[in-house]
């Protein structure tokens, strides 16, 4: 069916805007990371404050309690496990170096191993160096984190102010749709963040218990690494198992086999049982799309971009589904975050 000139112009404008988004991200990558971090901080504050808002507590008080609870949890973790996990991380780095050397010596005993080792050593990957680098924090990184936290607190305190400000950038006839789209994005990020926090806690706890049963040293740190790595879907679990494999290598081949089996069972249960239950109420992005987005952003902007690849993918998925597939093509599709667009004010 022929479309009108206005409809064609609308579709073309949306398509061009979406096409130019990667260029804008490329030019303002550091700013995009800080803004993404600020939005996640605001979302986290609202997620924790949600139960208090459900009982009609004033927003300012609910957010204040939310921030205080988050700080207390962080302080409690540092107080109870901080020094212990710090020592365990150092032990993991030491054992990982030993395990890497043992695997290298083993590969040197066969022609296939030598060929594989030559390809691996062509790169610059070293797990101990990665673990040590994780403790080196630059001043610019700390400034970025501080800006993200402060901006996130402002976003959380007055979301309508920034929502209306963004809405004013659009012509009057499109402001209603812009407001609705922003609500969908906020709802999708809220549900995604809650789902990820639950999944990270589940994986960190189960992996910690599993490696403790296997008998690996430093189970708290290995569980913490697995839980934090879970923040990056699909890629994170692969990265999270590497320290455990290298540590298990220093203990013995039996421990290595049991460790691989334990991680396999944990992630199989998480992927096929636990996460599907969570995603019934949370946000689910097609797995292939999420994985390809993570790989693409990592290739374009480096490892740092991988951390925020998932929330950026959720945001873009909402924009394309809502603005193009539903509003422009008029297809009846579900939009992520659609059921969570009216949080208590």
145-156: pLDDT as tens digits: 888 889 999 999
pLDDT score of 135 = 46
CB distance 222 to 278 below 8 Å: no
pLDDT score of 59 = 86
Q: Is 15 helix (H, G, I), strand (E, B) or coil?
A: helix
pLDDT score of 211 = 92
Residue 148: φ, ψ to 5°: -60, -40
| Nearest Cα to Cα of residue 312 among 225, 230, 200, 233 | 233
Determine the Cα–Cα distance for residues 297 and 225; give it in Å rounded to an integer: 22
pLDDT score of 110 = 66
Residues of the chain with pLDDT under 50: 122-125, 127, 130-131, 134-135, 342-345
Q: What's the pTM?
A: 0.72
pLDDT score of 89 = 64
Q: Is 60 helix (H, G, I), strand (E, B) or coil?
A: helix
Residue 13, CB-side half-sphere exposure with 13 Å CA sphere: 11
Say which residues have a Cβ less than 8 Å from residue 51's Cβ, sequence separation at least 6: none
Burial of 283 from C-beta contacts in 10 A (0-12 / 13-18 / 19+)? buried
Cα separations (Å) of 108 from 68, 250, 252, 256?
A: 54, 17, 19, 19
């Amino acid at each position: 069916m022929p479309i009108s000139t206005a409809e064609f112009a609308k579709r073309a404008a949306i398509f061009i805007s979406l096409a130019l988004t990667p260029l804008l991200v490329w030019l303002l990558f550091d700013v995009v990371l800080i803004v993404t971090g600020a939005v996640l901080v605001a979302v986290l504050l609202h997620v924790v404050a949600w139960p208090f808002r459900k009982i009609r507590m004033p927003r300012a008080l609910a957010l204040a309690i939310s921030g205080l609870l988050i700080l207390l949890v962080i302080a409690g973790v540092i107080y109870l496990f901080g020094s212990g996990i710090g020592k365990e991380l150092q032990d993991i780095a030491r054992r990982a170096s030993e395990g890497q050397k043992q695997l290298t010596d083993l590969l040197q005993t066969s022609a296939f191993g030598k060929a594989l080792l030559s390809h691996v050593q062509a790169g610059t990957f070293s797990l101990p160096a990665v673990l040590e680098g994780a403790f080196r924090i630059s001043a610019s990184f700390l400034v970025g984190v501080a800006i993200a936290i402060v901006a996130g607190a402002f976003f959380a305190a007055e979301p309508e102010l920034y929502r209306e400000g963004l809405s004013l950038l659009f012509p009057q006839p499109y402001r209603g749709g812009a407001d609705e789209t922003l609500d969908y994005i906020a709802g999708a990020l809220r549900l995604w963040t809650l789902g990820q926090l639950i999944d990270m806690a589940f994986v960190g706890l189960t992996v910690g218990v599993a490696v403790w049963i296997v008998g690996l040293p430093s189970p708290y740190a290995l569980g913490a690494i697995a839980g934090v790595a879970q923040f990056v879907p699909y890629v994170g679990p692969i990265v999270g198992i590497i320290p455990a494999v290298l540590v298990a290598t220093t203990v013995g081949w039996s421990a290595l086999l049991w460790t691989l089996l334990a991680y396999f069972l944990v992630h199989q249960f998480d992927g096929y049982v636990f996460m599907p239950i969570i995603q019934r109420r949370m946000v689910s992005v097609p797995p292939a799309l999420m994985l390809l987005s993570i790989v693409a952003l990592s290739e374009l902007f480096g490892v740092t971009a991988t951390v925020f690849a998932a929330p950026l993918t959720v945001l873009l998925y909402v924009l394309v589904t809502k603005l193009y597939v539903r509003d422009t093509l008029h297809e009846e599709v579900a939009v992520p975050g659609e059921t969570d667009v009216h949080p208590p004010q």
